[in-house]
Amino acid sequence: MEDREKLPGTGRIEAFSDGVIAIIITIMILELKVPAESIARGSFAGVVRELGPNLFAYALSFVIVAIMLLNHHSIMRAAGHATNGLYWWNANLLFWMSLIPLATAGFGQAPGQPLAVALYGAVMFVCGISFTLLRRCASRLSPADRDLAGFNRRNDAKNALFAALYGLSVPLAYVSVVISIAIFVVVAMAYFLPSRLPDER
């Protein structure tokens, strides 16, 4: 017990990650500017027109970040304890995730512009890769649990597919932004398909 207490837990990595992720959401909200003029004119249509695309981009990113947070929880539980390696793969992930607000704001301001959509897809793609790298590091820390290993393998396959789709969304934005946006929405939706953790059976 004494020894385990001295072993660095994942507590502060999780707390720090939660902090950064909560902050990512904050910054996305800050990008939603009050449509002051439309409100002053009492124009509901104006509010929708001004706020609509930004609100759609925010809602999409909110769902994606919430999925990432859920994955983050399951990765940290799998890891069980902290090492320098885990810390830095996690920091790498948080760095790329911290660019999501920027990508979201760009996307919300110009949803029809291929460059804005491609940048959004690119950030999500790099986040997907970073998740895979973090998950691998975490799996190495807890190889004993067989159920979890199987779960991680299935999850790895799923994440690799989704990361590949995000990667595809970058060039496809220059074919049609609609295809790329459809990819974002479908990937986000796909996470709601049941995929329970072994200990939640």
Task: Give the shortest CB-201-to-its own copies separation in angstroms.
Answer: 11
What is the three-state SS of the chain? CHHHHHCCECHHHHHHHHHHHHHHHHHHHHCCCCCHHHHHHCCHHHHHHHHHHHHHHHHHHHHHHHHHHHHHHHHHHHHCECCHHHHHHHHHHHHHHCCHHHHHHHHHHCCCCHHHHHHHHHHHHHHHHHHHHHHHHHHHHCCCCHHHHHHHHHHHHHHHHHHHHHHHHHHHCCCCHHHHHHHHHHHHHHCCCCCCCHHHC
Provide the minimum distance between the beta carbon of 188 and its own copies in the complex, in angstroms, as a whole number: 12
Q: Closest approach of Cβ 192 to its own copies, in Å?
A: 8
Residues that bind its own copies (CB under 8 A): 6-8, 12, 14-16, 18-27, 29-32, 34-36, 39-40, 42-44, 47, 59, 62-63, 66, 69-70, 73, 77, 83-84, 87-88, 91, 94-95, 98-99, 101-102, 105-106, 109-110, 113-116, 119, 192, 196-197, 199-200
Output 30 or 185, the one with its CB closest to its own copies.
30
Supply the minimum distance, in Å, between the C-beta of residue 137 and its own copies: 14
Q: Which residue lies nearer to its own copies by CB, 8 or 150?
A: 8
Residue 92 vs 132, nearer CB to its own copies: 92
Using the minimum distance from each CB to its own copies, give the nearer residue, 66 or 160. 66
